Amino acid sequence: MREIVVMENVVGRMLNHPWQQYDFNSQVEILVSSSKTPLTIEKPDNVQVLENPHQFKTQDSSKSVVGPDSKELLLSSKEVTSNPRGKVKANVESKFLRQLVVTMSIFDGKKVISELKKEFIMKAWASICTKLNLLGSFFGLATFYDQARSALVNKTIKIKESEPSLKAKEHLKIVLRERDEKSKEVSTSNRSLEKARKNMKKLKDRRDAAKEEAVEMESNVSTAE
């Protein structure tokens, strides 16, 4: 009776908590008789089955609905009480192998995640290296540009300070002055031309009006005759 109750407790914990690990050598204790007679286990009259905490009940309190965990526990307890020691050992080993398969599946999943993380880190590092190279090239071009600009500023200062540059500056002022004078003359001519165009337009309008009056007068004369 003691061995049956211990086995029921172990199987119940395995069904309700399949993710936990158990030491079967310390939990399962089956006493074997020293004689050569086969091991017989009597089926107890009263087998107490622990209800699953997730078990639900209908509105009728007199009829209870047993969840899948409690049904499996009841079947396992019946197998333990009715089967010989070999079947009990095979049942325990199958539960252990099931838990081992779940553990191996978790390990494979963690390995896949680790490989994906590694691949992502390698791609990110390659992208970062490319951007660092571009950044280094940009800073190199910026340094070269600063050096060239400094050299150009120095040359400009030297040219301004030299006498030929002063003469060229004076000549440039004269040229600009002449250009301004010519531009003024051109603008004056443009204004005169615009006025002439307006006068021509007025004269053309007057001519057209005179032609119309002449046509009307001719028509009136022909009508009077």
Tens-digit pLDDT profile for residues 61-116: 434 434 444 445 445 554 544 555 555 556 666 766 776 666 666 777 777 788 88
d(CA 89, CA 87): 5
Mean pLDDT throughout 179-193? 85
Closest CA to 118 of 126, 184, 197: 126
In this predicted structure, what is the pLDDT of residue 148?
87
Mean pLDDT throughout 197-204? 87
Q: Which residues pair with 64 in a beta bridge?
A: 57
In this predicted structure, what is the pLDDT of residue 56?
39
Question: pLDDT at residue 1 above 60?
Answer: no
Mean pLDDT throughout 196-200? 86
Mean pLDDT throughout 29-56? 42
Please answer whether residues 47 and 81 qualify as being in contact, where contact means their C-beta atoms are separated by less than 8 angstroms. yes
Model's pTM, two decimal places?
0.24
Question: pLDDT at residue 169 above 50?
Answer: yes
In this predicted structure, what is the pLDDT of residue 186?
84
Task: Give residues with Cβ within 8 angstroms of 70, minimum separation 6.
Answer: 49, 50, 51, 52, 55
For 25-60, letters b (16+ CB in 10 Å) and e give eeebeeeeeeeeeeeebeeeeeeeeeebeeeeeeee
Task: Give residues with Cβ within 8 angstroms of 108, minimum separation 6.
Answer: none
Neighbours of 92 (CB within 10 A): 19
Neighbours of 86 (CB within 10 A): 9
Stated as kind and residue range, the H or E segment containing 118 is helix 85-161
Show me where the domains of the chain are located: 2-109, 172-224
